[in-house]
Amino acid sequence: GGNKTRKLEFLVADAQEKGADTLITAGGIQSNHCRLTLAAAVKEKMKCILVLEEGLEPEAKRDFNGNYFLYHLLGAENVIVVPNGADLMEEMHKVAKEVSEKGNTPYVIPVGGSNPTGAMGYVACAQEIMAQSFEQGIDFSSVVCVSGSAGMHAGLITGFSGTQSQIPVIGINVSRGKAEQEEKVAKLVDETAAHVGIPNFISRDAVTCFDEYVGPGYALPTPEMVEAVQLLAKTEGILLDPVYTGKAVAGLIDLIRKGNFNKEDNIL
């Protein structure tokens, strides 16, 4: 189901508080975020419109995509497919205007649910991690996570900082270069910190990303990702996905091999 449920807990509550009856969000054709947003809308008796960015694969493959099928099974109000490279936020605002003109109240959720409200899900997650590590007597030396739309990464940094923890959060990029992704995460950290009442509290040095594991592009396989997926399946019985967790664990494995971590480190 992806990592978006924690974000949607806060986003859907905010939408309801603002009187919205229609959720609008966007993502790729295979987007777990879109599927989870739609499922949340169904559960809360809200309408949902999805704006999907066409992938680079042939259009004929779209109907064979599991999530694309589920969008229709779950009863999306509308599924709008736009060309690859389209401005998804602009497209969502166009849809929101049409929804408003029909007398309904839209609520736009950004790609990945990554804004200060959505990132609150991972501020809370960081607090849960600290509480559980204290209860179990475990000290984590680092947290390694996927860094994509940046909500999880920024939320964890903000959450740990808010609890006075010095645990570094290391992001493994899945789509962007290091400088661009770190800037994206840092901006959302600043916005989220202000949202929770600790503006200008978190150093830019708290944001660290590695882009060596993106490969040819977003959702495109790499040999290191394949190795990571096979390794965890055969040794731990854990199934990774090829888009996010596979590349994140590939990055973690490589960082261990390069000596960034040692045997005594507890890495989450």
Point out the residues that are catalytic: 31
> 220-229: long-range contacts at Cβ-Cβ below 8 A with a sequence spacing of 24 or more?
222/247, 222/250, 224/250, 224/251, 224/253, 224/254, 225/250, 227/253, 228/253
SS3 of residue 48 by DSSP = strand
SS3 of residue 124 by DSSP = helix
- Amino acid, single-letter form, for residue 227: E
Using CA atoms, how far apart are residues 197 and 249, in angstroms rounded to an integer?
33
Contact partners, residue 66, CB within 8 Å, separation at least 6: 30
CB 160, CB 126: distance < 8 Å: yes
How far CA 49 is from CA of 34, 74, 117, 130, in Å, comes to 9, 12, 20, 37
CB 116, CB 14: distance < 8 Å: no
CB 208, CB 170: distance < 8 Å: yes
CB 176, CB 111: distance < 8 Å: no
